[in-house]
Structure 1
């Protein structure tokens, strides 16, 4: 029998239903459980409008991803799109680095959130030990392969969606019984004035909750019939998540006034507790923990496939582009991902860094919009999914508008990540020139 050897072919294990579940699980994740209160603090009772604005902006870029995922169904995602559009290695490497940063920062942030949920039902366990245990489990699942990861994703997605259904059901019953008249008002906090500026500021934060649909293109090489299934999965996933977000956010500000919701550390848990005091708080806490775990897993998968794809395109060292001979997983990328994610998680700075995630994503989405414009002008008649050229143009403008409404701290942190990326690009360029000279 021939010995196993390393391969560079990923297994196609995703059909359309499992790909949609993957996308919904990635988008829903921990976002709605964490940020709905903060958005209410910015947009007041119009928190649902902030989610609608964010969904519109996300939908325009999702259409761009749908076409690019149909045209170029390869691992590497945004970095591969930009490299195909412009053929500039340093730009592709820089964008890939920024995308990688968003995944790593998100993983670190979510691991700390997971530790918080665990401590809510098992106090006294050190955060760092919970973080390490979480990453050990995620590494094992990711190493085992996409089938195992997809199974865990399905379980976690079912739980997190169930948690949001609980919010919808108990809050709806509460309102039907007249519980929202009058709303509970916290005398220790003040309401935020409502206006379009406040709504757009809320949308800039709400955009964080929609992050995830772009990850679908990173597993395109593991999808059956990707030219058809990738675009459909992107649009279905975003639509399902958006409807749930809008409904949950509207119900939340009916149960609690926006100022009280903004002051809550666990807004949806508090909504459930007021709407149905008999519902076991521990069960909802466990559901929220699984939602956080799911998003962390999907960020891990995305970051590993991103490094793998960039390596195969010659944008990163070639040793990252090899797969395990038995599991067909990009296991070497774990050696880069884990130290960075764990280091950020235990440093205690991830909460500050999380604010830059949406800004970085919006900047990268703007570059994706430009990439589609360039590719569509060069090759105007693709065989698969297609959108009119004005769609990426409008998406570009909308993404930049939301960047303008992001906080100053978020923009400064984004510039910091970009500066580190520039340094890495220069170093990689120097290494490449050295190899050519040798």
Structure 2
């Protein structure tokens, strides 16, 4: 039974494959290469590109679990829906609790990520306009992007697609120019591993921030056209595109600049390109960074607001967040609330720009990569308990119907978490405790569980335009 809040308006299917791909690319690029490359190179040194390779492989393996589950249950909330249906085969309460964990972890990771990316945007904006402090610019950007999301999903998708194409072309060009300027650059440094492999793995934990938005596309399942085909295809292709970009860019920046200088810069890519193309190069990359960090914030706020909406329409969260605008076809209250949280996180810059980004990034990485481990486990559970399901996309390499690479990815995700600093770990574990208390004190007795048949009816009722 749907509540009145849900029936106030319907979601609209306005996103085709290209729109979904661009949302995935936009969310991934801005979060990784522009925001965390400075702190990551401080850990990995010239071996930065190796950290990108490791993080990319683990993210791609995990994304295949998401892709199979999305082809079965292409609904709003993505991991919220997947874990709810997967773990309910073991116990209904377990299914709901894990779903709540996923929704809460996702909301935390993307709200924090949006704050970090807004600070990254402000850093590059400051590179072009030195008189404008990131402390002032970041909150303004957060408000503008929240406003864009309230207009409607179709307009948001088109703006995002335009900016995503710009940043992909710009990054490919910049990476190739940097590499050709000094093809063996990273290997010319006397100390290739200044902090040993521990430094590379620590950088991988930071860089994982760039791969963590793999779910941004999937949270829009009921706003996508032909979702069982387009969602898995868009998610995996976007991630592969970005991982290739990350690796060659990570190689190129160290080829053209000193790792020490990169680690100390608030706009490291601009610094790297300025060394190859003095003057104009730095401005061009700063412009590309502005579009990239902007689209990343769009992806973060889209994902977290849809996750909140998915839980609210079953009353796992306050029902007010399930309200859909009759004209816009978007969950307005969920977007506004998410935007407020993202705005608040940008204010952490008062503790220092670099410190704020490091804290936000690490807390977001913990939340998201723990959730990725959960989804890999969910796929294994589904394979064992729901042999009746016929996914349109199937995880490759299986032994007795068990996706062995998903099992490997589970341990890899958990391993990455061991390289996160204590304070972000404390924030993450405290959040899980809070979510568990929330389930037993608020959600458990209010939850109006929508089963698979009811979800399919709701999904089919959404308008396509």
TM-score, normalization: structure 2?
Answer: 0.83
CA drift at 1:422: 3.3
Q: Give me the whole-angstrom Cα distance separating, in 2, the residues matched to 1:174 and 1:224.
A: 43
Are the counterparts in 2 of residues 11 and 328 from structure 1 also a CA contact under 8 Å? yes
Tell me if 1:121 matches 2:128: yes
Which of these residues, 417, 422, 436, is aligned with residue 422 of structure 1? 436
Q: Give me the whole-angstrom Cα distance separating, in 2, the residues matched to 1:141 and 1:56.
A: 33
Q: Give me the whole-angstrom Cα distance separating, in 1, the residues matched to 2:442 and 2:217.
A: 28
Which of these residues, 179, 184, 200, is aligned with residue 172 of structure 1? 179
2:413 is matched with 399
Are the counterparts in 2 of residues 64 and 391 from structure 1 also a CA contact under 8 Å? no
Q: Specify whether residues 44 and 128 from structure 1 end up closer, same or farther in structure 2 by C-alpha distance, changes over 3 A only.
A: closer
Which is worse superposed, 29-38 or 267-276? 29-38
Are the counterparts in 2 of residues 104 and 340 from structure 1 also a CA contact under 8 Å? yes
Question: 1:24-423 to 2 correspondence within 5 Å?
Answer: 24-87=25-88, 88=93, 89-125=96-132, 127=134, 129-175=136-182, 193=194, 195-348=196-349, 350-351=356-357, 352-380=359-387, 381-387=389-395, 388=398, 389=402, 390-423=404-437
2:462 is matched with none
Q: Deviations over 1:286-327 (max 9, x none)?
A: 221221111111111111111111122332222322211111
What CA RMSD, in Å, does the superposition of the two structures yield over aligned residues? 2.6
Q: Give me the whole-angstrom Cα distance separating, in 2, the residues matched to 1:383 and 1:76.
A: 18
Q: Give me the whole-angstrom Cα distance separating, in 2, the residues matched to 1:134 and 1:322.
A: 25
Are the counterparts in 2 of residues 183 and 255 from structure 1 also a CA contact under 8 Å? no
Q: Give me the whole-angstrom Cα distance separating, in 2, the residues matched to 1:44 and 1:36.
A: 11
Name the SS of the counterpart of 1:385 in structure 2: coil
Q: Give me the whole-angstrom Cα distance separating, in 1, the residues matched to 2:250 and 2:266.
A: 16
Are the counterparts in 1 of residues 115 and 360 from structure 2 also a CA contact under 8 Å? no
2:13 is matched with 12
CA drift at 1:191: 7.5
CA drift at 1:272: 0.4
CA drift at 1:184: 8.7
CA drift at 1:267: 1.6
Q: Specify whether residues 246 and 309 from structure 1 end up closer, same or farther in structure 2 by C-alpha distance, changes over 3 A only.
A: same
Which is worse superposed, 193-202 or 261-270? 193-202
Are the counterparts in 1 of residues 176 and 252 from structure 2 also a CA contact under 8 Å? no
Q: Specify whether residues 420 and 66 from structure 1 end up closer, same or farther in structure 2 by C-alpha distance, changes over 3 A only.
A: same
Q: Specify whether residues 49 and 16 from structure 1 end up closer, same or farther in structure 2 by C-alpha distance, changes over 3 A only.
A: same
CA drift at 1:280: 4.8
Are the counterparts in 1 of residues 112 and 363 from structure 2 also a CA contact under 8 Å? no
Are the counterparts in 2 of residues 219 and 305 from structure 1 also a CA contact under 8 Å? yes
Q: Specify whether residues 77 and 260 from structure 1 end up closer, same or farther in structure 2 by C-alpha distance, changes over 3 A only.
A: same
Q: Give me the whole-angstrom Cα distance separating, in 1, the residues matched to 2:182 and 2:144.
A: 41
Name the SS of the counterpart of 1:212 in structure 2: helix
2:454 is matched with none
Name the SS of the counterpart of 1:29 in structure 2: helix
Are the counterparts in 2 of residues 43 and 194 from structure 1 also a CA contact under 8 Å? yes
CA drift at 1:192: 5.0
2:446 is matched with 432
Q: Give me the whole-angstrom Cα distance separating, in 2, the residues matched to 1:55 and 1:347.
A: 29
CA drift at 1:52: 1.0
Are the counterparts in 2 of residues 191 and 259 from structure 1 also a CA contact under 8 Å? no
Are the counterparts in 2 of residues 73 and 221 from structure 1 also a CA contact under 8 Å? yes
Aligned residues: 423
Which is worse superposed, 165-174 or 397-406? 165-174
Q: Specify whether residues 338 and 40 from structure 1 end up closer, same or farther in structure 2 by C-alpha distance, changes over 3 A only.
A: closer
